[in-house]
Structure 1
Amino acid sequence: MLFHYHHWTPYIEQTEAFYSRLGFRVSQRIGKYNGSYQSFDPPLGWDDFRGRPITFRIIEMRRGAVNITFGQGRRIMFDHIGYLVSERRLERICQQAETAGLRIQRGEKRTFISTSHSFRVELQTHQEAVDGLHSPFRLQSLSIETTTDGLEHEINQLLRPYSSRIQSLVTHRHALHSAQISHPAFEEVVDPNGVKLISAGTSS
Structure 2
Amino acid sequence: MQLFHYHYWTPFVEETEQTYRSLGFKVNGRFTKDGFFHPPLTWDDFREEQPTFRIIEMRKGQINITFGYSKKVLFDHIGFLVSDEEYDQLLAQAKELNWPIQAGERRTFLSTPLRLRLELQRRTDVIENGNNALHAMTIAVPDLSQTPKIDQLLSPLNQPIHWQKGERLSLLDVNMTNVDEMNTIDPNGVHIVKQT
Contact 2:24/2:180 (<8 A) preserved = no
1:177 paired with 2:172, answer yes
* Aligned residue pairs, count: 195
Normalization by structure 1: what TM-score? 0.91
1:72 paired residue among 69, 73, 85: 69
Paired position in structure 2 for 1:21: 22
1:84 paired with 2:81, answer yes
2:46 paired residue among 46, 49, 52: 49
Amino-acid identity (%):
41
The alpha carbon displacement at 1:184 in A equals 6.3
What are the Cα deviations for residues 81-112 of structure 1, in whole angstroms up to 9, with x where unaligned?
Answer: 00011122111100000001111000001000
Alignment CA distance shift 1:151-1:194 (3 Å): farther
Match of 1:139, as an amino acid?
A: L
1:166 paired with 2:167, answer no
What are the Cα deviations for residues 12-68 of structure 1, in whole angstroms up to 9, with x where unaligned?
Answer: 000000000000000000013xxxx20110011111100213111000000010000
Paired position in structure 2 for 1:136: 131
Match of 2:120, as an amino acid?
A: L
- Residue aligned with 2:35, SS: strand
Aligned partners of 1:81 and 1:174: how far apart in 2?
Answer: 12
Match of 2:20, as an amino acid?
A: Y
Contact 1:155/1:164 (<8 A) preserved = no
Which 10-residue stretch deviates more, 182-191 or 50-59? Answer: 182-191
The alpha carbon displacement at 1:152 in A equals 3.6
The alpha carbon displacement at 1:129 in A equals 0.5
Q: Which segments of 5 or more consecutive residues in structure 2 lack a partner in the other structure?
A: none
Paired position in structure 1 for 2:181: 186
Match of 1:40, as an amino acid?
A: F
- Residue aligned with 1:150, SS: helix
1:153 paired with 2:148, answer yes
Moved over 4 A (4+): none
Alignment CA distance shift 1:24-1:184 (3 Å): closer
Match of 2:5, as an amino acid?
A: H
Contact 1:152/1:166 (<8 A) preserved = no
Q: After superposition, where does 1:30-49 map in structure 2 within 5 Å?
A: 30-32=31-33, 37-49=34-46
Q: After superposition, where does 1:185-204 map in structure 2 within 5 Å?
A: 185-201=180-196
Q: What is the Cα-based RMSD across aligned positions, in Å?
A: 1.3
Match of 2:141, as an amino acid?
A: T
Paired position in structure 2 for 1:121: 118
